[in-house]
Structure 1
Amino acid sequence: MGWISKLIDSVSERGREIWQQESHDHPAFPDTLADACRDLLSRQGDAVALAIAKEILQRYRSASEAEKLAFFHFLQMLQPDFNQISRLSHACAELNSPESYQAFCTALSGGRKALFELLNVPGVGTASLVSLREDLLKAMRVQPELKVVDLDLQSTLQSWFNRGFLEFRSISWETPAYILEKLIEYEAVHEIQDWDELKRRLEVDRDCFAFFHPALPGDPLIFVQVAYTQGISGDVAPFLNKDTPIEEGPSADSAIFYSISNCQKGLKGISFGNFLIKQVVQEILKQRPAIRQFSTLSPMPALTLALGKGQIDEEALTAIAGKKTELLKQQYAVDSLTELLLEKANLLERNDEQTAAWLEEVGLYYLAQVKKGTEPFDPVARFHLSNGASIYRINPFANTRPYGLESSAGLMVNYIYELDQVEINHEHFKQNGTIAIHRYNNKKNKIKRIENVRT
């Protein structure tokens, strides 16, 4: 790619010279980013347009928060010509010709979308626009009217980051250090404390896989960490403890996906995880033929949020979970389930089978019954269930680290990917909102599959 970069740089530099000659009376950069963007949109020649685009990106990187916000408001006003689109739409319907359709598509991709395409300068443009979207998402928290800008930017990035451009890589201790540093930085589920902890997560009984994009070659988009175990594990502590003995024997029959981290905040809402999991499964089947089960050990990151927002019907849950809710409220002197799980989760007795069974009911009720629209309230549940997984087992006290207690009262869940059921589960979930659930029978020490439970 070196000679291409040099070629682009030379074209850009020549374009800058032409640009400055054209505007000898005003040799400085236009007063605002908005003015430069208007100039860019009016250009026909590639060389000058490339020079202006690079200048805009550089100027944006050094802009103040106020300047960036003003730029976002300019983008908000940079709408396509809706009157023209309406006329061309009618012409398309009447003429039904390639020419009318081409004119309609050109008008529809005008405004902001045309600007984003022009700013995608080879080498730096894609990364710059991903960073710009991260800033935009922050601004939208207080100025939601900027959502119209994000609709165009997200759809543009989605086309650039489609599956065909993604590069699948296995990460090992031999991977370049600058990429390993990114894993430590981006781990979003279970923080990696130091290099020794990272090294343990890359030993022979573990794996790590990631997706990369040619425009961000040294920066992973998403990565998944896998542990190989005998049976499906319901406790995350051994995976996070760097002193856990290394299992080198052939006894492992299960692959446990215990951490999936999206790395680029500017790509929020652009899903790579479903592709990554499917590719990881295929890679594991090829490299480790003894593996027969594929499961996650996942958090319930919005459980306490749902409690705090009153999303969980305590009366309905009490009816399902029996008298244990009231007994625990009396035992810990609290008035509600919300107080019990938000304030006392770290005090619940881990060796009490009744408490564990009660927590399983709480977790299952939350995952299957508490909704955001028509889908589960929990974002991790939405992700795995929509990809064809089923709920295998709720695990009380599976993550008793402070962040695990704070976000999900220590609960974790195994979602299982049964290769002969994935597509069926996916279709049922998408079409009917049904969820495949396995119920654990403590007395018989078995897990029974319940087919397609409508929730």
Structure 2
Amino acid sequence: MNNVPEWISRSVSLLTSARSAADANAPVVEKPKTERSTHVRLQASMRRGEECLSPRALRRLLTQLQDVIAPRVSEVEGGRRAQALAAWYEDAEPGERRDFWLLLCEQFSPDASRFKTARERYEAAVGTPNEAQAEIALRRAMTSPRTRLLQRFAAFPDGMRFLIELRAELLKALKTDKRLLALDAELEQLFSTWFDVAFLQLKRLSWDSPASLIEKLIKYEAVHDIRSWADLKNRLAGDRRCYGFFHPSLPTEPLIFVEVALVEHLSDSIAPLLDETVAQVPLDRATTAIFYSISSTQTGLRGVSFGDSLIKTVAETLSAEFPRLRQFATLSPIPGFRAWLGKNAAQASERLDDKRRAELAGALALDGPEALTSAALLAAAEQASTLEARAPVALWLQQCAARYLALEMVDGRPVDPVARFHLGNGARIERVNWAGDRSAKGHKQAYGLMVNYLYDLKRIDKHRSQLAEGKIAASREVEKMAAGG
């Protein structure tokens, strides 16, 4: 800067000093962390930040995955190589497993240019003699190398179990890393094919079943905990049945199981069904099958639906064994009701007519109907276990539950998860039951309320069609209650 005027040099010096001082006093703003894709990491020489596998290790793992589906590798050899990688995965750290998933997602996706070309050729061929050939080429272009790779993993012994457990772990990471969505979607699609009901076998689980299988029931029971061996035996013998769907690749693992009670009428309380001291119903007098617990066992098969097929298959099996059976229904929890009512109690109280407001105000010893608030109603609901079914607060809760089940929908689907399952399978809401579950869990979920979903085998398709049109199938009793809630 020898030729620069002194005043310019001095000004620059002062400006630089002031800027440095300002920078020193300014708050430190961290740059947002951006994770490198595997495409970038594979070209790098050093790992960065919290990356787990080094670029060299990542390249080695990618080569091993590519070798599984190499063109000249047979199905048997490919399965053997996949099995070796599965063994590595079992011992891998969480970060190493995540890198494994990322490689599957980013390095084995469909060829975008090939897909684009095939799609354009198909669109041009529609309506011409070349349409069929163009469609075949498009289907092939849509098949990713990832599909072939996952098929090789499914081929070796215990490979299916490996993939199911891999997806169960993967599901936990989806919320924080959207790059993994493609792998999850592909696994779900493959599982939907591999676990189609045509490939499943219905088996009855009894007290004489292998101990390892009975222990699985205890482990996976998700609705009503099995408290003892006596409780378990009660659910498997006499007027009780338990059935599960099995897949040839997992012969000792029920994918989903249902517990059934054979009774003389529609059940309104879970306690008698779980009480091993209650006298058994003579099987020749049973007219109703109550599905009181349905539990899926494999988190990794989430999104693969075979619950509806299980219920229909069990109903047909029971009908063949017990011709007197006329009704097939559930006794189900209402797990989302309490939370929903907590958010919607104000609207529910506003729907009350003057007579009902006066009855509720009197029951709560309030100074007139104008003192009735949603907070007061919710506080009274906490004492639900002490109320009779016809008490004003109990009736209000039942009407609100009927409305929640029969009218409340989001995106064309019932709000309650259990209702969504059964109504989606073609059942209808038959009856809301007061004090159906007096356990702490039952009170926490729905103030002790339970519901019967009726499976009318002749009207299942009709009820499904109604739901598709935005109308929930319900009995007249429930519809009338819902209108008042």
- In which range does the TM-score fall when normalised by the shorter chain? 0.7 to 0.9
Structure 2 unaligned runs (5+)? 1-56
Q: Is the Cα–Cα contact under 8 Å of residues 259 and 294 in structure 2 kept in the other structure?
A: yes
Q: Deviations over 1:34-64 (max 9, x none)?
A: 4421332334221432221111111112211
Cα distance in 2 between the residues matched to 1:231 and 1:381: 22
Bigger proportion of residues as strand: 1
The letter for the 1-side match of 2:115 is: I
Cα distance in 2 between the residues matched to 1:401 and 1:385: 25
Distance change >3 Å, CA 242–CA 341, structure 1 → 2: farther
The letter for the 1-side match of 2:411 is: G
Q: In structure 1, the residue corresponding to 2:473 is in which secondary structure?
A: strand
- Please state how far the C-alpha of 1:328 moved relative to its aligned partner: 6.9
Match of 1:437 in 2: 474
Q: Is the Cα–Cα contact under 8 Å of residues 33 and 59 in structure 1 kept in the other structure?
A: no
Match of 2:285 in 1: 251
Matched, 1:189 2:223: yes
Cα distance in 2 between the residues matched to 1:415 and 1:232: 10
Distance change >3 Å, CA 395–CA 33, structure 1 → 2: farther
Match of 2:111 in 1: 81
- Please state how far the C-alpha of 1:378 moved relative to its aligned partner: 0.8
Cα distance in 2 between the residues matched to 1:163 and 1:342: 47
Q: Is the Cα–Cα contact under 8 Å of residues 463 and 473 in structure 2 kept in the other structure?
A: yes
Equivalenced residue count is 414
Q: In structure 1, the residue corresponding to 2:325 is in which secondary structure?
A: coil
Counterpart pick for 1:58 among 74, 87, 93: 87
Counterpart pick for 1:395 among 433, 438, 449: 433
Q: Is the Cα–Cα contact under 8 Å of residues 30 and 36 in structure 1 kept in the other structure?
A: no
**Bigger radius of gyration, 1 or 2?**
2
The letter for the 2-side match of 1:382 is: R
Q: In structure 1, the residue corresponding to 2:139 is in which secondary structure?
A: helix
The letter for the 1-side match of 2:346 is: E
Cα distance in 2 between the residues matched to 1:334 and 1:181: 51
Distance change >3 Å, CA 30–CA 437, structure 1 → 2: closer
Match of 2:258 in 1: 224
Q: Is the Cα–Cα contact under 8 Å of residues 367 and 378 in structure 1 kept in the other structure?
A: yes
Structure 1 unaligned runs (5+)? 1-28, 441-447
Counterpart pick for 2:153 among 119, 123, 135: 119
> Comparing 253-262 with 384-393, which one deviates more in the overlay?
384-393
Q: In structure 1, the residue corresponding to 2:472 is in which secondary structure?
A: strand
Matched, 1:380 2:414: no
Q: Aligned runs of 1:33-182 on 2, under 5 Å?
A: 33-46=61-74, 47-78=76-107, 79-95=109-125, 96-182=130-216
Q: Aligned runs of 1:201-212 on 2, under 5 Å?
A: 201-212=235-246
Match of 2:394 in 1: 356
Q: In structure 2, the residue corresponding to 1:60 is in which secondary structure?
A: helix
Distance change >3 Å, CA 276–CA 111, structure 1 → 2: same
Distance change >3 Å, CA 375–CA 313, structure 1 → 2: farther
Q: In structure 2, the residue corresponding to 1:242 is in which secondary structure?
A: coil
Give the superposed CA RMSD: 2.9
Q: Deviations over 1:51-90 (max 9, x none)?
A: 2111111111221111112222223313211221010112
Cα distance in 2 between the residues matched to 1:265 and 1:341: 37
The letter for the 2-side match of 1:141 is: K
Distance change >3 Å, CA 105–CA 370, structure 1 → 2: same
Q: Deviations over 1:90-144 (max 9, x none)?
A: 2223343554433322221113222211211232111110111100111123334
Cα distance in 2 between the residues matched to 1:376 and 1:329: 32
> Comparing 74-83 with 29-38, which one deviates more in the overlay?
29-38
After TM superposition, the score normalised by the length of structure 2 is 0.78
Q: Identity rate of aligned residues, in percent? A: 33
Q: Is the Cα–Cα contact under 8 Å of residues 169 and 212 in structure 1 kept in the other structure?
A: yes
- Please state how far the C-alpha of 1:184 moved relative to its aligned partner: 0.9
Q: Deviations over 1:267-318 (max 9, x none)?
A: 011111110111111111111111111111011122234345x3x3632454
The letter for the 1-side match of 2:111 is: D
Cα distance in 2 between the residues matched to 1:145 and 1:153: 14
- Please state how far the C-alpha of 1:365 moved relative to its aligned partner: 1.1
> Comparing 335-344 with 98-107, which one deviates more in the overlay?
335-344
Q: Deviations over 1:189-238 (max 9, x none)?
A: 11112221110011211111110000100000111111111210110011
Q: Deviations over 1:428-449 (max 9, x none)?
A: 112x111222244xxxxxxx88
Q: Is the Cα–Cα contact under 8 Å of residues 158 and 270 in structure 1 kept in the other structure?
A: yes
Matched, 1:289 2:319: no
Counterpart pick for 1:267 among 301, 308, 313: 301
Cα distance in 2 between the residues matched to 1:34 and 1:401: 52
Q: Is the Cα–Cα contact under 8 Å of residues 79 and 155 in structure 2 kept in the other structure?
A: yes
Match of 1:6 in 2: none
The letter for the 1-side match of 2:378 is: L
Q: In structure 2, the residue corresponding to 1:142 is in which secondary structure?
A: coil
